Amino acid sequence: MSAKNVFKTAELMKKIMKEYNEAGRKAKEEGRPVAWVTAVFPVEIIYAAGLFPYYPENFGAVAAARKVTHDLSTAAEAKGYARDLCGYARSGIGDAYSEEHPVGKILEPDLLFCCNTQCGSLPKWFEVAARFYNSPYFLLDSPRVGLETDRLCIDYFIEQLHEMITFIENQTGEPFDYDRLAEVLHLSNEACRLWNEILDSAALRPAPFGFFDACFHMAPIVTLRGTQEAVEYYRALKEEIEERIEKGITAIPEERHKIYFDHIPCWPKLRWFSELFASRGALVVASQYTHSWAYSFDLERPLESLAENYTHEFVNRCFEYRVKRKISFMKKYDVDGFVLFSNRSCKPNAFGLYAKSKLIREQTGLPGTVFEADMADLRLFSEDQVLAKLEPFFEQLN
């Protein structure tokens, strides 16, 4: 996404994200509980309960994009939190202890909700925060799922959703509104459907939209999923993309190759990566990361459906499932190669990546590479090291 290629809709996003942040501050002032949640969490229940959901991971990503993770982290490291912990967690914990708040203060929680579908770092970070801010904490536990649908895990999750709703009712003193939940789930479905249609446009040759664009436009699907604002936002973005297709505006000037990328981007180097790939005529078209928000809820069986969607998210699945899913994306988007990011901040995505890379090369015959870096902390990023992996890869594409 070059500077002259900026989407009009970007302005709309700035506006709705600003309004979202203001709503958070207002909720605090008015005594409406601010609930911390994780990215892959049934936030639909939080919206339905009238709580204000706040995403500390989003705070971590913003700090990373503004290249201040290490400043915040220093305050956490001074307390003994090691540099090898998740960069988002270090940003959040660092902000708690720091006098300086380079991206504004994190919104303090009245309640904390965490789902460990993604990893074990989030619950530990949220525990630390629950102690620091002295606020009640609820963990939705999601054991790892294998290749097949896992009834044991779904039933366990449903039971916990009931426990969580009781927990919320006890906190708010109000009975949970299942009619409202159905409305929120409907809005969530709509936003997810639009988001995935947008992502699909990357399959066009040449494409109007790629992974780095998706990274830019994903904030609403993460934070506002379940609201009318998210639906409207993605409707507008989809219209703009259709307009671009008609006018022949493409994501990069000369698209010669399509690339699959896992998983999360290096936020402080997003532009560097996008320009590097574009300069080689390579458009990154898909990633498991941006495709995570592809939920589809059955309004007739809300809790069951929430459990099925959130427990069976790819990041919680076995090695074999994840290899299969990567390959299915590569086929769907008809890619010419793949790049896998061994992210220091994210053990569940990084461990096993070298074996996966080898297996994918064997099964698809595609060129691929694995590079080491961190999604947030520039001290754990070396341009030279990344280029040493990417340059030979680009050569293989030609």
Partner 1 sequence: MIHAAGFFPYGIVGGSTNLEEANAHLQAWACSHARSSLARALEGKLDFLDGLIIPHTCDTMRMLLDLWEHVHSLPYMENYRLPRQANRASAGKYLLGELKRIKKGLEQYRGAPIENKALMDSIKLYNHNRQMLRKLTDLHANYPHLISSRRLYTVINASMVMPREEVSRLLEALLGHLEQDLVDEAENDHVRLLLSGTLLEPFEVLDYIEEFGGTVIADDFQNGYHYIESDVNTELDPLEALVDRQLKRIPSAAFDIEQNPRRFFLTSLASEKKAAGAIFLHLTFCEPENFDSYDNLKAMQAEGLPAIRIETQFGGTGLGQIRTRIHAFMEMLGGESR
Q: Kindly list the residues in this chain that would bind partner 1 in the complex (CB under 8 A).
A: 79-82, 84-85, 89, 112, 114, 116, 119-121, 123-125, 127-128, 130-131, 136-137, 139, 141, 143-144, 152, 155-156, 159-160, 163, 318-320, 342, 344, 347-348, 350-352, 354-355, 359, 372
- Write the DSSP string, 145-202: B-SS--HHHHHHHHHHHHHHHHHHHHHH-S---HHHHHHHHHHHHHHHHHHHHHHHGG
Find the length of the chain.
Answer: 398
53, β-bridge pairs: 35
CB-wise, 18 or 79, nearer to partner 1?
79
Provide the minimum distance between the beta carbon of 136 and partner 1 in the complex, in angstroms, as a whole number.
Answer: 7
Provide the minimum distance between the beta carbon of 314 and partner 1 in the complex, in angstroms, as a whole number.
Answer: 14
Question: Do residues 265 and 256 touch, judged by C-beta distance below 8 A?
Answer: no
Q: Taking Cα atoms as reference points, which of 53, 123, 58, 141 lies closest to residue 95?
A: 58
CB-wise, 144 or 193, nearer to partner 1?
144
CB-wise, 76 or 224, nearer to partner 1?
76
Provide the minimum distance between the beta carbon of 354 and partner 1 in the complex, in angstroms, as a whole number.
Answer: 6
Q: Taking Cα atoms as reference points, which of 43, 4, 26 lies closest to residue 220?
A: 43
Residue 14 three-state SS: helix
Provide the minimum distance between the beta carbon of 92 and partner 1 in the complex, in angstroms, as a whole number.
Answer: 12
Provide the minimum distance between the beta carbon of 109 and partner 1 in the complex, in angstroms, as a whole number.
Answer: 12
Provide the minimum distance between the beta carbon of 268 and partner 1 in the complex, in angstroms, as a whole number.
Answer: 19
CB-wise, 176 or 319, nearer to partner 1?
319
CB-wise, 170 or 398, nearer to partner 1?
170
CB-wise, 125 or 329, nearer to partner 1?
125
Dmax (CA) for the chain in angstroms is 63
Q: Taking Cα atoms as reference points, which of 128, 126, 130 lies closest to residue 116?
A: 126
Question: Do residues 283 and 339 touch, judged by C-beta distance below 8 A?
Answer: no
Question: Do residues 190 and 44 touch, judged by C-beta distance below 8 A?
Answer: no
CB-wise, 84 or 254, nearer to partner 1?
84
Provide the minimum distance between the beta carbon of 110 and partner 1 in the complex, in angstroms, as a whole number.
Answer: 14
DSSP-derived letter for residue 379 is G
